Amino acid sequence: IAGITQAPTSQILAAGRRMTLRCTQDMRHNAMYWYRQDLGLGLRLIHYSNTAGTTGKGEVPDGYSVSRANTDDFPLTLASAVPSQTSVYFCASSETRTGELFFGEGSRLTVL
Amino acid sequence: AQSVTQLGSHVSVSEGALVLLRCNYSSSVPPYLFWYVQYPNQGLQLLLKYTSAATLVKGINGFEAEFKKSETSFHLTKPSAHMSDAAEYFCAVSDLRGADGLTFGKGTHLIIQP
């Protein structure tokens, strides 16, 4: 059972470049999320999607965009990367009723 | 709005000793509460969850947590620490809808001394 698959696992990126982090789930969960994890700050929600075709902003959405064309895929795009976006990014999904999240293994992004 | 406070960014215990990781929450509605564990260079794994059933919740790897509404707390405990318990632990809260994701605490790094 794959669960949540994220790609790439690690990437070094020049500032100003565009980058898309991919996330695919095979659990048919309606809700999907993107979090960033930074030392001392825990996990902060960037964007979420309650169902295919809808998205919403989380706590730290600036500089990021998402789309949800279907149930399984939820890519996160950095239109013009900045060094402050250096972080570990986690994609997650949930069955809305319980709120329990299932996480991918993370994508480590370094912006120079 | 909901929030989570984890007391202590680092907790160190001896192998075989009691583990106690503290979590207090703030929520305007009855919450769902979760503890997640993160091992180095891995994603987060659910340890246990409280969803308004029994207030004492048992999870994986011998961990348990007790929901105390009067104290707005959901502390995580384990009677006897193992070296393999060394990891980052996160407490998280959700409202009943769970639709907008979980709000996480800043995490507690558990160190096990031999």
At residue B100 the predicted structure's pLDDT band, cuts being 50, 70 and 90, is: confident
Chain A to chain B Cβ contacts (< 8 Å): 71
- Tell the burial category of A95 from Cβ atoms under 10 Å away from its Cβ (0-12, 13-18, 19+): middle
Mean pLDDT of B7-31: 91
Look up residue B5 and give its amino acid. Answer: T
Counting as low any pLDDT under 70, the low residues of chain A are 1, 96-98
Contact A101 B44 (CB under 8 A): yes
Three-state DSSP class for residue A60: coil
Task: Estimate to the nearest angstrom the gap between the alpha carbon of A62 and the chain centroid.
Answer: 13
Q: How many CB atoms lie within 10 A of CB A91?
A: 28
Look up residue A64 and give its amino acid. Answer: Y
Contact B106 A41 (CB under 8 A): yes
DSSP character at residue B27: -
Per-residue pLDDT for B61 more than 70?
yes
Contacts of A49 in chain B (CB under 8 A): none
Beta bridge partners of A69: none
Q: What whole-number distance in Å separates Cα of residue B90 and Cα of residue A29?
A: 23
